[in-house]
Structure 1
């Protein structure tokens, strides 16, 4: 009867263990997926909030690589390696307690060898963190070459430079390969050193334990128990030393991500003005501007520019290439801030208006037509998703696009 009860209890425990393991794995994987998507979305949002000058200085391919590749590498490494590191660290503590209960002398000898063993992962972990940051930077540069090539494919084809772009991309990949070889050598050396030091520690413990048994300080049974505990303890130490550099590597790969998250946009805060009616009287008064932010005479694009755009009239800015015509429009859109002078809209400083309000009042037809990889309707209603069908058709007719849009499939 007792045997049947014991078997039933054992089966129940096994079933509960399997169910709990399933639930824990499910919750863990869902949580880590949620963290990954949240971090990726947060980085994307943080980058979008930056000033236009930030995008001028940061290549598109590099930004995409940071948001996608870096966040994915960081979340994968931290979700798997960090959890294992914490688990083995807890196991390390419990085993140390059991070893201490068997023999404090041999435990002391074990602990004396730990600082030597821990020096290796600390040094390799620092190296992995440094090399990982360089690897991610190299990958970002390679992605930038690919992004530029695909986005300017007509230019590449017109100059018959496919082989040149292929060679440039190959050189970037070779740089990454060289860094990964250094990383592989460091990992192999670290693993070998860890194995040798733990083996030396085991030999010392067996020798010292045999001496204690001969002296009668510990029994042979206690020595066997201690050795069994020490074997598991050594495996826990090896696991900690193996996963610690991986966690440091993930930290190195995530440095740029958190740099984006912590970066504050270098632009003045949005104003508060949002009048119901706007006449559109624009005035530039002694405006000086330089894309580099410098105020030296030779770096200025606009030098004491003053002009007036009156409502209800057509005003044309005429000048040579790079004379600052497009720059005036960019300043009016508040993409950049002038180094000196001021821009007035209806007699009020431009920076006193709310950014979203200002961009709703200004319509710009640029020299290059930009189309997103979306439907025609989504392109027309970009920034105005609640537009009615009639408003969409009217906009298409005003742009002389309604006819050929009607001929498109679907």
Structure 2
């Protein structure tokens, strides 16, 4: 709290400092036309060589001071812009890290990355840059107005005719432009989503010769973006016509009336020149404010989505903080019913109940879409059941502290995800100091190696150029499927978990890789509570119990031998012979 208060104070001091620097620069800008008029009077109307020289020196000093203060203000605003960019990105990323899994299922990754990269940059850059220009222009306009009234209140009144018209035009234009800017940001996000989807799945695109359809989808998004940009250009062009003509029309009227005042001896020629320079400076300030207003409208269009994501509250309730001294790993589902939030009318699990006792290996088999993986997702608390309860040691999964629980319940998925970091850091993923793990709980090099040996991964890791410090590349691109799967198994084992969740951990592997990974899985399943989803006999034959899941409920239950003798759905799935492929699992 004290640190946050200190940051607020520092920001306020920075803003005060910026305002003072801006005011000094604006005063210099206002003095330049004044001294210009005095120089003209000293050189032609009322010649005075000494005053002429002294005034020229003043003009040089004022110009230099104006330049120095303008540079300092610009540099400080650049620092402020960078700080704001970092804060917005950090706040947005923190918010994204808190969102529930269903949010990422319903929101395209490209759209999220667009908000995190393009939109945050637009917001921070435009706000800070235009705050700089806007503050300078407002201060400059205020200073110039003071000097204008001092030079001639009559001409100043004429000049004020333009202000209400420009304010009205700017207000109408700003409201319209903001809506257009929001639509532009949406189309850009859609285009990014299409591009990211195609680029991240290039092998699939190339395998199906779908390059043209990918390009067509991307071009369609860009076509909509271009149409909106045309509307923006038309609106901006109309706005510029109005805001350019009106000041020039007022200039003509001011020159005409001011010339008559000079001819009547009510005003000197130098004063008229100064006044016209004031008018030019005022017009420049209003022109800059108009541009600032347009840029702010664009920034607000991007900011709406960014702020919406930052302020979004996760739909999944916060987990508890329970960290019991003992944990046996008894897993239960009691009359659980579940539908995915994106498909609320399609029930995936229908009043299903099951129990996995401590140290027991229970296998789930069944037709694809029966709800097997959904059970794992509920145990992991990626989603909440619509009815019933998911229990660990008799307590709701949500009652436990999430970090504490993830060290005791480990998941090995069908498609392991590795990150662009070393093998060692991939095995220790989630168990590093940055994750808030106590130093004594951070795996040592010996722990990592022991987990790799159990996962049959140590040999191929040691053969790599840098061993455990070898970079895996983005999504583990430099490794084979079997190697990635064994590193994922080591990542689970290094936690020394009580409960293991194995979601078809060998289904995507070839026969050679499967044999090696299956040996690692057999080691894993000793002395653990295991819930394994599989469709191969080699995985399920040694399970203590096998549950056949169909239509979101338990259709059959028993050992491999008893289910094989029963000749029911288990037999129909093709689970009786190791060489016979399953029909639909």
In the TM superposition, what is the alpha-carbon distance from 1:272 to its structure 2 partner? 1.9
Residues 150-169 of structure 1 correspond to what in structure 2 (within 5 A)? 150-169=199-218
* Two-structure CA RMSD over aligned residues (Å): 2.9
- Pair 1:219 & 2:275 matched: no
TM-score, normalized by length of structure 1? 0.90
CA distance in 2, matches of 1:122, 1:17: 31
Equivalent position of 2:367 in the other structure: 320
Whole-Å separation in 1 of the counterparts to 2:354 and 2:456: 32
1:338 lines up with 2:394 in the alignment: no
Structure 1 counterpart SS, 2:410: coil
Aligned counterpart, 1:238: 287
Partner of 2:416 in structure 1? 369
Distance 1:229 1:399 in 2: 78
> Is the 2:74–2:132 contact (alpha carbons within 8 Å) kept by the matching residues of 1?
no
Q: Does 1:304 align with 2:304?
A: no
Q: Distance in 1 between matches of 2:224 and 2:61?
A: 57
Please give the alpha-carbon distance, in whole angstroms, between the structure 2 residues aligned to 1:12 and 1:103: 26
**Mapped pair 1:409 → 2:465:** yes
Superposition deviation, residue 12 in structure 1:
9.6
**Distance in 2 of aligned mates of 1:368 and 1:293:** 22
Q: Which of 104, 128, 135 matches 1:55? A: 104
Residue 21 (structure 1) shift: 6.0
Partner residue, 1:353: 400
Per-residue CA deviations over 1:79-110 (Å, capped at 9, x if unaligned) read: 22221011101111111122222333332232
Paired with 2:454 and 2:356, the residues of 1 have a C-alpha distance of 24
DSSP-derived class of the 1:305 partner: strand
The equivalences for 1:80-229 within 5 A come to 80-210=129-259, 218-221=266-269, 222-229=271-278
- Relative to total residues, which structure has the larger strand share, 1 or 2? 2
Distance 1:336-1:253 versus aligned 2 partners, 3 A rule: same
Contact 1:281 1:309 in 2 (8 A): yes
Asked if the contact 1:102–1:226 (Cα under 8 Å) also holds between the matched residues in 2, the reply is yes
**Alpha-carbon deviations, 1:186-208, whole Å to 9, x = none?**
22221122111111222233344
Structure 1 position 67, deviation (Å)? 0.2
SS in 2 for 1:315: strand
Could you report, residue by residue, the CA deviation over 1:204-239 in whole angstroms, capped at 9, with x for unpaired residues?
A: 33344456667x694354544433322221221122
Give secondary structure in 2 for the equivalent of 1:160. coil
Equivalent residues of 1:51, 1:266 under 8 A apart: yes
Question: Structure 1 residues 202-211 or 44-53, which shifts more?
Answer: 202-211
Residue 56 of structure 1 and its aligned partner are, at CA, apart by 0.9
1:259 is displaced (CA, Å) by 0.7
Distance 1:314 1:65 in 2: 44
3-state SS of 1:254 partner: helix
Residue 445 of structure 2 is aligned with which of 359, 365, 389? Answer: 389
Residues 293 and 339 of structure 1 are in contact (CA less than 8 Å); yes or no, is this contact kept in structure 2?
A: no
Q: Post-superposition shift, 1:167? A: 2.3
Gaps of 5+ in 1: 1-5
- What TM-score does the superposition give when structure 2 sets the normalisation length? 0.64
- Contact 2:77–2:129 at 8 Å: present in 1 too? no
| 1:398 aligned residue (435, 450, 454) | 454
Query: Cα gap change, 1:301/1:36 in structure 2, threshold over 3 Å: closer, same or farther?
Result: same
* Residues matched between the structures, number: 404
Q: Which moved more, 1:218-227 or 1:164-173?
A: 218-227
Q: Distance between the aligned counterparts of 1:283 and 1:307, measured in 2?
A: 6
- Please give the alpha-carbon distance, in whole angstroms, between the structure 2 residues aligned to 1:406 and 1:325: 36
Distance 1:141 1:40 in 2: 20
* Distance (whole Å) between structure 1 residues aligned to residue 71 and residue 238 of structure 2: 37
Tell me which structure has the larger Cα radius of gyration: 2
The gaps in structure 2 that reach 5 residues or longer are 1-54, 433-441, 467-585
Q: Is the 8 A contact 2:81 2:129 kept in 1?
A: no
| Structure-2 residue corresponding to 1:3 | none
**Conserved 8 A contact 2:106-2:342:** no
1:32 & 1:280 partners in 2: Cα distance? Answer: 51
The answer to which structure has the higher helix fraction is 1
Q: Which residue of 1 aligns with 2:302?
A: 253
Cα distance in 2, alignment partners of residues 45 and 228 from structure 1? 51
- Rounded to whole Å, the distance in 2 between the matches of 1:73 and 1:267 is 30
Q: Is the 8 A contact 1:103 1:218 kept in 2?
A: no
* Conserved? CA contact 2:126–2:295, under 8 Å: yes
Distance 1:25 1:118, change over 3 A: closer
Change (3 A) 1:16 1:87: closer
Are residues 330 and 217 of structure 1, via their aligned partners in 2, closer, same or farther at CA, if it must alter by over 3 Å? farther
